Homo-oligomer: A and B are copies of this chain.
Amino acid sequence: MVELLSVAQAVDLVLGYAGHFGTEQVPLAEASGRILQQTISAERAQPPYDRVMMDGIAYRYGTGSVLECRGVQRAGVPGQELAEGAVCLDVMTGAVLPQGADTVVPVERLLRNGKQVQFEEGYTPEKGQFIHRKGSDCAAGHELLSRGLRLNGPALAVLAGNGHATVEVAARPSIGIIATGDELVDVDASVRDWEIRRSNEYALTGALVSRGFTCLERSVVPDDLARTILALEKQLARHDVLVLSGGVSMGQFDHVPKALMKLGVERVFHKVAQRPGKPLWFGVGPEGQRVFGLPGNPVSATCCATRYVIPMLLAGQGVVRPETYSVQLAAQASRVPTLTRYLPVRVTHDESGRAMAMPHPMSTSGDFSFLAATDGFVELAPGEGLAPAGSHAVFHGW
């Protein structure tokens, strides 16, 4: 018996085809969650002027604690000149520090009597207080955001604050999701005793959409070689990535590998030493299309999408921060001697901050219903016996 490809080998092969799907320029308000493909530097020094940090007055330190207020320095206008002597200007948070002033006193510390402003009893300001100095955060040209960042709220604000109304992000591949199998009926059709509703396409849709991959088309092909070839030919012409489920096992009606071969899709591998998901098929089409043949079993398909399809797509976007992380097993779990095991778990953080992974009881890999109560799976290396409670494993989220 030929030795099966290990998970690490198979992942390496898939990532070798991660490629890149180009970039596109999108308006800032639509860029949330997209992957940055340019370096963002400070447009100006930050802050761009000596910035008042509190509502109150600005004055020259040492000119006294009873001051004559000579006017208002609002935000959004050039800095005024402060006259000599025991004088001040009212200032607003965010305003330019008036020229000649060097200290800000907050309004809560002031008593007012007409134009006369007096510090409250016993209050002594510190020279220079409540001024956010020009350039103290960064100089102009300082790198603020780097490629591969997933744009969250603060990153969008940095882009806006530095004059980027649009931003260059990774273009998203067009993805065809294809279900196979004569036993599958539509979600809204009536279902007979021997039939099952199609569901893998929705599990895949959820996994893809939650990562921002929204260029999706769902279709279905029957268990017939000629029609499988026709359908796949059309899908290959339309998409950068195909994700099929079903039809890759060893059954005589598993036409997918045959059909793909006919269409010039070169097999990179078929079968991986993993449970579930052993029959996984991966190949590359004549135009470089990445083609995944996931097993039809819903748990297998979901695990394989999580372990192979998503990482390849994220790598293709240039994402620098991994989604995976280490967790502790909250209960023991049995390993499989020669296969990597994907064990669905729910992850919660205990009070001390430990990420605890609780395996969900499951009867068979066909038992899909329980997966919605889990967050992803942990990967257990091939081995004898049990992985004890408290041992560490890498978690992959759905």
Quick one: which of A200, A204, A206, A327 has the most chain B CB within 10 A? A206
> For A132, what are the chain B residues with a Cβ–Cβ distance below 8 Å?
363-364, 366-367
A182 x B75 contact (CB < 8 A)? yes
28 contacts between A and B (CB under 8 A): A28-B187, A29-B202, A44-B191, A48-B193, A48-B196, A76-B194, A77-B183, A77-B194, A78-B193, A79-B194, A92-B249, A93-B251, A94-B296, A132-B364, A137-B364, A137-B370, A152-B206, A152-B372, A153-B202, A153-B204, A157-B302, A157-B371, A160-B201, A162-B197, A163-B187, A165-B187, A353-B357, A353-B392
Contact string against B for A residues 44-80, beta-carbon threshold 8 Å, 1 for contact and 0 otherwise = 1011110101010000000000000000101111110
Q: Across the interface, do B202 and A28 meet the contact criterion of CB distance under 8 Å?
A: yes
Stretch at the interface among A143-151, A333-341, A381-389: A143-151
| Residues of chain B lying within 8 A (CB to CB) of residue A44 | 191
Of the listed stretches A10-18, A285-293, A311-319, A343-351, chain B binds A343-351
Contacts A33-B210, A153-B398; is A196 near B161 (CB within 8 Å)?
yes
The CA of A142 and the CA of B370, in the complex, are separated in Å by: 12
Q: Which of B152, B193, B370 contacts A49 (CB 8 A)?
A: B193
CB-CB < 8 A to A298: which residues of B?
Answer: 157, 161
Report chain B residues within 8 Å CB of A48. 191, 193-196
* Beta-carbon nearest neighbor of A214 in chain B: B32
- Chain A residues with a Cβ under 8 A of chain B: 28-29, 32-33, 42-44, 46-49, 51, 53, 55, 72, 74-79, 90, 92-96, 107-108, 132, 136-138, 142, 144-145, 149, 151-165, 181-184, 186-188, 191-207, 209-210, 216, 218, 223, 249-254, 296-298, 302, 305, 325-328, 348-357, 363-372, 374, 392, 398
Q: Which residues of B contact A182 (CB under 8 A)?
A: 74-77
Indicate whether A187 sits within 8 Å of B203 (C-beta atoms), given known contacts A137-B366, A327-B353, A363-B136. Answer: no
**From A95, which residue of chain B is reached at the shortest CB distance?**
B183
Contact indicator B206/A249 (Cβ below 8 Å): no
User: Chain B contacts of A353 at CB under 8 A?
Assistant: 325-328, 354-357, 392
Task: Determine whether the beta carbon of B297 is less than 8 Å from that of A137.
Answer: no
Most B CB contacts (10 A, CB to CB) among A184, A191, A216 go to: A191
